[in-house]
Structure 1
Amino acid sequence: MDITRYGQSALLIEEQGTRILIDPGSLSGEHVFALDRLDALLLTHDHPDHLDPDGVARLVARSPDALVLAPAEVLDALPVGADRAIPVSDGQAYRVGAVDIEVVGSLHQLIHERIPQGLNVGYVLGVLGGARLFHPGDSYESAPSGITALALPLLGPWGSLREAIDFADAVAPRHIFPIHDVHLSAMGRELFWSWLQKFSLTDMAAFDPPIGYPVGIG
Structure 2
Amino acid sequence: MRITHLGHACVLVETGTARVLIDPGTFSSGFEELQDLDAVVVTHAHPDHVDVERLPLLLEANDGAVLHAEPETAASLREAGITASALHAGSSVEVAGAVVEAVGGQHAVIHADLPRIGNVGLLVRAPGEPVLFHPGDSYGAVPEGVDVLAVPLNAPWAASKETIDFVRAVGAPAGFPVHDALLSPTGRALYLKQVRELGGLDARDLAGAGPVEF
Aligned to 1:61: 60
C-alpha contact 2:131 2:146 (8 A) present in aligned 1: yes
Distance 1:39 1:149, change over 3 A: same
SS of 1:120's partner is strand
Q: How many residues align?
A: 211
Shift of 1:152: 0.3
Moved over 6 A (4+): none
What code does the residue aligned with 1:36 have?
A: Q
* Structure 2: 5+ residue stretches without partners: none
Shift of 1:130: 2.1
Aligned to 2:210: 213
Distance 2:33 2:128 in 1: 32
Of the structure 1 ranges 42-51 and 86-95, higher mean CA displacement relative to structure 2 is found in 86-95
Distance 1:38 1:46 in 2: 21
Aligned to 1:80: 82
Shift of 1:111: 0.2
Of the structure 1 ranges 101-110 and 208-217, higher mean CA displacement relative to structure 2 is found in 208-217
SS of 1:13's partner is strand
Distance 2:142 2:52 in 1: 29
* Structure 1: 5+ residue stretches without partners: none
Structure 2 counterparts to residues 28-177 of structure 1, below 5 A:
28-29=28-29, 31-78=30-77, 79-81=81-83, 85-177=84-176
Distance 1:48 1:160 in 2: 21
What code does the residue aligned with 2:115 have?
A: P
TM-score (norm 1): 0.93
Distance 1:205 1:66 in 2: 32
Distance 2:106 2:76 in 1: 18
Q: Percent identity?
A: 37
What code does the residue aligned with 1:59 have?
A: L
C-alpha contact 1:6 1:212 (8 A) present in aligned 2: no
TM-score (norm 2): 0.95
C-alpha contact 2:15 2:129 (8 A) present in aligned 1: no
Shift of 1:212: 5.7
